[in-house]
Structure 1
Amino acid sequence: MDEAVSYVPADELRVGLFVFVDLPWFRHPFAFDRFKIKTDSQIAQLKELGVARFRVDPARSDMPAPPPVVADTPAAPALPAEPAPVPDADTLARQRRRERNAARRARIARVERAFASAGQAVKEANRNLVARPGESLAALNQLVGDMAESMLSAPEVTLHAMADRIGGTETYCHELNTAVMSLMLARQLELPEGQVPLLGLGALVHDIGLAEIPDKVVKKRDPLTHAEAELRKLHCEYGVKRGHEIGLPPPVLAIIGQHHENWDGSGYPKGVSADRIHPLARVVALVNEYDNLCNPPDVMRALTPYEALSVLFTQRRNRFEGRVLQLLVRQLGVYPPGTVVALSDDRLGMVVSVNSRAPLRPGVMVYQPELPRDESSILNLAQVPEINIAKALRAADLPREVHDYLSPRTRVAYFFDTEVDLEVDQPACEAAA
C-alpha cells in the first residue's frame, strides 16, 4: 500500500486529491489527518500550514481532468514585450515588509488555531474526567504526546503570547499554560524520555481537586478569608483521591498532591521540603506560581510577566529548586512574552515571542503609528544587536493610543511552535519611514 503513496508540492494541490496531513492534530484545523480535498478553501488552509509537500494516495484520489484541447490554429505573431518598470527602493522595501508581515500573520494564525484547539480539548477532557475517565485521559495523553514530541525533537522552540480571544472565544486556560511551560522546561532539564509525558499530564490535571471546592471560593476575586483559604488548600488532597479513583500513575499523583509544596518547607498540604518533593512536582509548582501571579482571579491584581518573574527570583526564590528557577528565567528571558517594553532607540513595543535559541533577544512588536497594527514590524532582537530593551513598562502607564495599538493581554496565555524564526524588518528602514 505504501508503494502507491506519492508526494505533491503544496502549490500543486487540487480538488480530488486524497491527502495526508503529517502534523500533530493540534497543528492543523482539520477533523482528520487524511481526507479527500473537496474545496478550494481546504487547499488554502493546507497551504497556510507551511508544509512544502504533502503525501497523497493516487488510488483514493479522483482521476485528474483531461488536459484542455487546443485548437489547431496558427499562433499569432508574438509582440515584443514592454520592459517592466523597475520599482524604486522605497517600493521594494514596502513590498518586502508586506511579504514578511503576511508570512508572520500566517504563522501566528497557525499557532493561534493550534492553541485554541488544544485549549478546548483540555477544558472538555477535564470536565469529563470523572464521568468518562478513559476517554478523557486518552485525549489528554494524545495532546501531551504530540506536544512533547514536537518540542523535544525540534532544534528550536518559539514561545508566543496568545490573544485574549480567538474567534470570539476566551482562550486562557491555566492547565494548558502550565503544561506548555512545564514541557518547555523539560527540554532544558533533559528529563528521561518517559518522564516528559508524565510531567505534561500532571500539569494538565494538577488542579482536578478544585472541582470539589465551591465556585464562590475558587473564583472569588477579593482576598480569601482564613476559612476560605484553608478550604481551598484541600484541593490537593481531593485531587489525589480523585486521581487514585481514575487510575492516574504515581508521578502524576505526586504532582497533584505536591504542586503547592515549597522547597523551603513553607508550602502545603504537608509542608515537605527539598528532596522530599517529587522532581516533576517541583517543575509544576514553579510554573503554577508564575501563571497564578500573571493570571489571578481578579485581573486588576495581575502582575506583568516581567514583574512575576522578578517576584519569583528576588522575593520567593527560597520556595523553589534553584536550578529549575534559573532554567525558567533562561527559558522565558528577562522580558517574557506579553511584556510591554521601551527600546534603547526610544521606541515602544510588546514582547510577542521568545525563541529557545536566544531567549534574551526576544521578538518585539513595535509601536508604529504611521502603519496599521497588522503591518507593524516584529523586531527580532537576535538579528539587531545594536538595539536593546531599556526597561519594562506597565500597560496601565501607556498613552491610550499606544495601549490600543499594542493591545496588551488581559490574560497572559502562551503557546509554541517549532518553525525557524521568520526574517524581520531591519530597524534602519523603519526609523527612516
Structure 2
Amino acid sequence: MDLRFTPEEEAFREEVRSFLRDKLPARLADKVRHDQRLTKADLEEWHRILNDRGWLASHWPVEYGGTGWSVVQRAIFEDEAAKAHAPRIVPFGVSMLGPVLIKYGTEEQRKTILPRILDGRDWWCQGYSEPGAGSDLASLKTSAVRDGDHYIVNGQKTWTTLGQFANRIFCLVRTDPAAKAQEGISFLLIDMDTPGIEVRPIMLLDGEAEVNEVFFTDVRVPVSNLVGEENKGWTYAKYLLTYERTNIAGVGSSIAAFERLQSLAGSIRRDGRPLADDPLFAARMARVEIELANMATTNMRVVAAAAGGGAPGAESSMLKIKGTEIRQAITALTRRAYGPYAQPFIPEALEEGYNGEPVGPEDAGAAAPAYFNNRKLSIFGGSNEVQRNIISKMIVGL
C-alpha cells in the first residue's frame, strides 16, 4: 500500500490552497482560528462560496452536482480546508442525507431535494437521538402511523444540532411497534414548518444553545417523504452513520488545533521559560503528537483502501474513537496552558466585534468553552463505548 501522494494529487493540493487563499474570507478564517461563534449567515456564506465553485458536495456523483473527486482528493481538500481555518461544511444535508438519497431515494426525491441542498434553500437537521435512545438508537419510540397518503408522527427527538436554523429534518421513526428493535424503523423526511412541530433549545456547558429538543404532536407527513422501503430504515441509518463517524475523526482539524497549541506553548512562559520546555507539559504534548501522527497514517490507509474500491467498516469506528479523544486532549492541554486565565467566562468575547478588555492572553476566554463543548465528541455519532462494541464484533467476532 503506497501512502505517498502522486504528482497529480500534489498539484490538486496546490489548487485547493490557491482557492482557499483567494476565496476564503479572512473574517471567517479569523473567527474559526479564534474559536469565535459562527452565525447561520457565516455558515451559509461558506456553503455558497463552495457551491459557486462546484466544490460543495465533494463525494456526490457528478450527475447530481458532485465534484467527481477521488477519495484521495476529498481527503486533501478536507485537510487543507481545516488547516486554512475554513468553517466546517454543515454536514446534515450534504454529507449525511445526500448520500442516502443518492443510494436509496427515488429519482423524484433526488431530482427535487439534492439541488435544494446544494443551493442552500433547504437546511436539514438530523432526528435520530431520543430520550432513552441515544447510543442505543434502536430503542427509539417516535412513531409514524399510516393514515391513507400520510404518516401521523408523534414523539420527541433530542440533541438536534442546529435544529433552530433548519427548515427540514430527516427522522428515524418506528412504523412497526411489534417488530424487533432494529426492525420496524423507517427513514422519513419532514418539513419543520408542519403544524405540530415544536423546537426547544438546550443550553450547553459553553453557554450556547447549539442543540435542541424537537417535539412531534400529530404531525402529518406525506408517504412520498419516505426514503426507501417502510421498516428498512435501520439499513439507511447505518449507511449514514458510516459517513458521520469517519468525518468526526477530523484529522485536518486536529492537526490545525495542535499547531495552534504548539505555538501557544512556545509563547506562554512559566517560571521564566516557555511552557513547551516544561518536561511534564512537553511529555503530554508529545503523546498527543504521536497519536495524531498515527491517526493520520491510519486515515490515509483507509483512504488508500477506498481508492482501491474498499469500503470502510470497523475503521470508521476506530477513527471516530481516536479522533475524538485526540481533539479532547488538545482542548484540555490548551486550557491547561492558559491556566487561571481560562477560568473567566465572558460569552460576549466569543462573538464577532467584541472589543472588551481581555482577561489574560488573546483567545484565553475561548479555551474553557471549547474544552467543555468538545466533551460531546466522544458521545455523539454513537458513543465511543458503542464503537468499541462494533470493533469487537466486526474484527474479533465477539
Q: How high is the TM-score relative to the length of structure 2?
A: 0.30
More helix by share: 2
Larger Rg: 1
